[in-house]
Structure 1
Amino acid sequence: MPSGYRPEIIQRSFIDFIGSQLHPFRSLSVPKLRLIARRALGDDLIALQFEPNRAFKKQAVELRGGWHGGQHINLSVVIDGIYHQRSYSLVGLPQQPIWLSNTSNDSAASNGYDKNNQRHTVTIAIKPQGLISNYLTQHLPLGTVLASSVPNGDFTLEQARLTKPVSSSVKESSFEKRPPLLFIAGGSGITPMLGLITEALQYGHKVTLLYYNRASLLESPFQNHWQHLAAKYPLFSYYCVNTEDPSTYLAGTRHLNASSLLALDLPLADTVIFACGSQALLAGLYRAATEITLPNVHSLTAQPSLRDNIIIERFGNAVSDPDIDQVYDTTADIEERTVYLRGRQQQFNTSDKLLMGAEDAGIRLTYGCRQGICQLCRCNKVSGVVKNIQTGKISSDGYESIQTCVNVAMTDVVLDI
């Protein structure tokens, strides 16, 4: 026997299985979250506060040092015996609480929301819409344990290479060399911004927030947080546009356009823009970026484009081009094609997304989020051409891995299912 080798007499997976039968929250290797509080932040946003188990803390905090602003987790939920998975942005950073506005009633306390215990919890904020989010916000009992991924995602400052630490010996004037950052959010798209903005300020960036919402500034659930940051960091400024109140509009318009971006008076050529929101908001941003002409300081290089400075949250259904919502967000112009499932010796005809076409034909395929997020529907395409309706990408005609929930058949297709 090799020196130093010690066989594992009892497998960790077996210990996990026995432990989960005795107590569902305990696990040596599976990250889990237990719902401990629920709080309404407004008419359409509800915060869910979770206690992480030991495996989550070890994998997400001890081994990775925590998570970055802008990252998300995948939650697994079972409803009526059917397994679902959804991705939700994390609110804030580990070990750093969020200053939430006080509500008009004390419903927070009655739902167990512990503001003083935020340093040891995981929080998400979501709208009560759709099957999964509605279940989490309206029906999931306190104390319920959910399987979770560790925090992940590349909508971060680190991914944009903006995480150079600030040295105590660096003079304030050197902050001007750091690129200014503009964060644009709409509705619940504000949730990944909370941690991102805090991190950016800690790294010494000049930060501007432009937030579109159907609420007044005083009713904004994170107003206390913005006030706290503005008091602590002189480099932070924020604009909350209530789409129902003309007095809050930028450049006299409720919509995001070139005029509203220019009204911020930022050096746009050097500004990195993070955006998260509806398809309409992101489409408006890209149109504005196309209309704004940046100065070309290097005559021998190509004309710079503001579009190159934009980073968007991609784990949802965000678009990356102003015309994608008109070109790729519909299957009405797709001809009906035949999809053959080689392993099952079955076939069906559809002009819809592959997953939906199979279900319409009474064929059940594996799926999770149904939005191109969780990857559970991924399978191998043997032959044929498909198009991803979120990105507009056209596949090759050969063997490759695809997701059935976001791809439509452009030709007859053979799947290795």
Structure 2
Amino acid sequence: MTNGYRPEIIQRAFVDFIGARLHPFWSLTIPKLRLIARYKLSDDLIALRFESNRAFKQQVSKVMGGWQGGQYLDLRVCIDGVYHQRSYSIVGLAHQPLWWLDDTTESHTADQRHTVTIAIKPQGLVSDYLTKQMPLANVVDTSLPLGQFTLEQTSILRQQISENDKPIPLLFIAGGSGITPMLGLITQALNNGHQVALLHYSRTVSSKLQHQWQQLNDNHPDFTYHLIHTEEPTTYLAGTRYLSAEGLLSLNLPLADTQIFACGSQALLAGLYKAAAEITLPIDKQLRDNIIVENFGNALANIDNGSNQTFDKTIPVEEHTVYLRSRQRQFSSDTTILAAAENADVRLAHGCRQGICQLCRCNKVSGVVKNVQTGKVSGDGYESIQTCINIAMTDVVLDV
């Protein structure tokens, strides 16, 4: 008997419809999370631990085999009858125990292989609701783990081995709650044998985080960390509370061959790019090319690589045409693609307008764009871009 299409006698969507009315956590196709615990990591950082449903576990295992350090989830949260979507970093790695849990008391709340933990700074409507108001056992819809702020996505790491036949050094720079995606990244990097250094700038001191870094330092000789408490001068690097070229050089890392991961406010990232511009590397190398960022601030890098001013409309940018292939529409652009589309009365999907939420992400078919936060120029081929933080450097075709 030949194999061919076999229609489902009972549609999975129908089963989901009935199951959701029996219990909101049940679904064959929709990933869902159920809140089971909250933990205070610091004065301004709360961790939320969720149990995942069968659909989440199966899809993550089948498609991804888990998740990577540095990835995030898009949560869909209902508040007063209105659904809101927000992105939150995942703490740690799949199947990795949370270091602050007492194995004898809390590890049996739910099998840790079936849980996922995010960390949130309690600010804004959704974050306040999740950290302070949402009852335990409530259920939210979620995406699968997303994001390219990972070890595998960096061009320098694809080389794998340095001149000394060792994995290349990694530098992680975080400001405040920007430490959350670093928790899994650092553990993964150490497990892969990388030399790792961490700079964490924060206004508060977290005993739980300090305990984690000290444990890693005790277990991994190649891990060093610097906690810069912005109100305590004795913790400053190179004598300044701000990120500086002198501070980076004081780490004694081979910066030309070091991959830098950074996550934090626009002020922190602006300071990083300014410091990178002041450091001289061997010919044909620029330190900013080694930087991968995940940010929660406004755009900060100028279109001109030689400057560190914030991008705005006063900076002259040559006008180019953006084509929307699926809609058969086009418009002229001399600013970010999203802003140009709105100026031409063209509606594109968007959320935060700051490069954080990923809701504006779409596929570029051809053309060159430039990221106004990092200054990096794309290739000319097919790739995923965010319209709110990219400008057209040539005519561009989007699969929209």
Look up the match of 2:114. 120
Aligned pair partner of 1:279 in 258, 266, 271: 266
Look up the match of 1:54. 54
Quote how far apart the aligned CAs of 1:60 are: 1.1
Structure 2 CA distance for partners of 1:16 and 1:331, relative to 1, 3 Å = farther
User: What secondary structure is seen at the aligned counterpart in 2 of 1:141?
Assistant: coil
CA RMSD of aligned residues (A): 4.4
Look up the match of 2:243. 256
Look up the match of 1:157. 151
Quote how far apart the aligned CAs of 1:79 are: 2.0
Look up the match of 1:68. 68
Q: C-alpha separation between the residues in 1 aligned to 2:385 and 2:188? A: 35
Instruction: Work out whether residues 175 and 204 of structure 1, in 8 Å CA contact, stay in contact via their aligned partners in 2.
Output: no
User: What secondary structure is seen at the aligned counterpart in 2 of 1:143?
Assistant: coil
Look up the match of 2:132. 138
Look up the match of 2:227. 240
User: What secondary structure is seen at the aligned counterpart in 2 of 1:84?
Assistant: strand
Q: C-alpha separation between the residues in 2 aligned to 1:96 and 1:402? A: 31
1:162 is aligned with what amino acid? L
Quote how far apart the aligned CAs of 1:186 are: 0.7
Structure 2 CA distance for partners of 1:210 and 1:390, relative to 1, 3 Å = closer
Structure 2 CA distance for partners of 1:18 and 1:101, relative to 1, 3 Å = closer
2:287 is aligned with what amino acid? L
Quote how far apart the aligned CAs of 1:232 are: 1.5
Quote how far apart the aligned CAs of 1:83 are: 2.1
Q: C-alpha separation between the residues in 1 aligned to 2:226 and 2:55? A: 40
1:254 is aligned with what amino acid? R
Q: C-alpha separation between the residues in 1 aligned to 2:37 and 2:85? A: 21
Look up the match of 2:199. 210
Deviations for 1:51-92, whole angstroms, at most 9, x for unmatched residues? Answer: 111111111124311000011110111222222111111000
Deviations for 1:317-356, whole angstroms, at most 9, x for unmatched residues? Answer: 564559999533x68999xxxxxxxx9xxxxxxxxx989x
Look up the match of 2:334. none
Q: C-alpha separation between the residues in 2 aligned to 1:76 and 1:324? A: 39
Instruction: Work out whether residues 230 and 236 of structure 2, in 8 Å CA contact, stay in contact via their aligned partners in 1.
Output: yes
Q: C-alpha separation between the residues in 2 aligned to 1:157 and 1:137? A: 29
User: What secondary structure is seen at the aligned counterpart in 2 of 1:222?
Assistant: helix
Identity %: 62
1:37 is aligned with what amino acid? A
Look up the match of 2:98. 98
Instruction: Work out whether residues 301 and 309 of structure 2, in 8 Å CA contact, stay in contact via their aligned partners in 1.
Output: no
Aligned pair partner of 1:266 in 227, 248, 253: 253
Instruction: Work out whether residues 101 and 220 of structure 1, in 8 Å CA contact, stay in contact via their aligned partners in 2.
Output: no
Aligned pair partner of 1:327 in 310, 325, 334: 310
Q: C-alpha separation between the residues in 1 aligned to 2:290 and 2:117? A: 29
Q: C-alpha separation between the residues in 2 aligned to 1:376 and 1:86? A: 9
Quote how far apart the aligned CAs of 1:138 are: 1.5
Structure 2 CA distance for partners of 1:242 and 1:117, relative to 1, 3 Å = farther
Look up the match of 1:186. 175
The alignment status of 1:293 with 2:307, answered yes or no, reads no
Q: C-alpha separation between the residues in 2 aligned to 1:204 and 1:270? A: 16
Structure 2 CA distance for partners of 1:100 and 1:78, relative to 1, 3 Å = same
Quote how far apart the aligned CAs of 1:377 are: 6.4
Give structure 2 stretches of 5+ with no counterpart. Answer: 317-326, 328-336, 363-369, 377-383, 392-400
Matched positions, count: 362
Deviations for 1:206-234, whole angstroms, at most 9, x for unmatched residues? Answer: 00111111134xx3431121122112211
Q: C-alpha separation between the residues in 2 aligned to 1:273 and 1:316? A: 18
Instruction: Work out whether residues 75 and 86 of structure 1, in 8 Å CA contact, stay in contact via their aligned partners in 2.
Output: yes
Quote how far apart the aligned CAs of 1:287 are: 0.6
Q: C-alpha separation between the residues in 1 aligned to 2:114 and 2:211? A: 20
Q: C-alpha separation between the residues in 1 aligned to 2:2 and 2:55? A: 31
Q: C-alpha separation between the residues in 2 aligned to 1:68 and 1:97? A: 15
Q: After superposition, where does 1:311-390 map in structure 2 within 5 Å?
A: 311-313=292-294, 317=298, 319-320=300-301, 327-328=310-311, 368-369=351-352, 371-374=354-357, 376=359
Q: C-alpha separation between the residues in 1 aligned to 2:240 and 2:280? A: 20
1:49 is aligned with what amino acid? R
Structure 2 CA distance for partners of 1:375 and 1:3, relative to 1, 3 Å = same
Give structure 1 stretches of 5+ with no counterpart. Answer: 103-108, 167-172, 297-301, 335-342, 344-352, 359-363, 380-386, 394-400, 409-417
User: What secondary structure is seen at the aligned counterpart in 2 of 1:83?
Assistant: strand
The TM-score, its normalising length taken from structure 1, stands at 0.73
1:126 is aligned with what amino acid? I
Q: C-alpha separation between the residues in 2 aligned to 1:19 and 1:354? A: 39
Moved more, 221-230 or 310-319: 310-319
1:284 is aligned with what amino acid? G
Instruction: Work out whether residues 274 and 308 of structure 2, in 8 Å CA contact, stay in contact via their aligned partners in 1.
Output: no
1:159 is aligned with what amino acid? Q
Structure 2 CA distance for partners of 1:47 and 1:318, relative to 1, 3 Å = farther
Instruction: Work out whether residues 165 and 203 of structure 1, in 8 Å CA contact, stay in contact via their aligned partners in 2.
Output: no
Structure 2 CA distance for partners of 1:175 and 1:92, relative to 1, 3 Å = farther
Instruction: Work out whether residues 360 and 386 of structure 2, in 8 Å CA contact, stay in contact via their aligned partners in 1.
Output: yes
Instruction: Work out whether residues 75 and 142 of structure 2, in 8 Å CA contact, stay in contact via their aligned partners in 1.
Output: yes
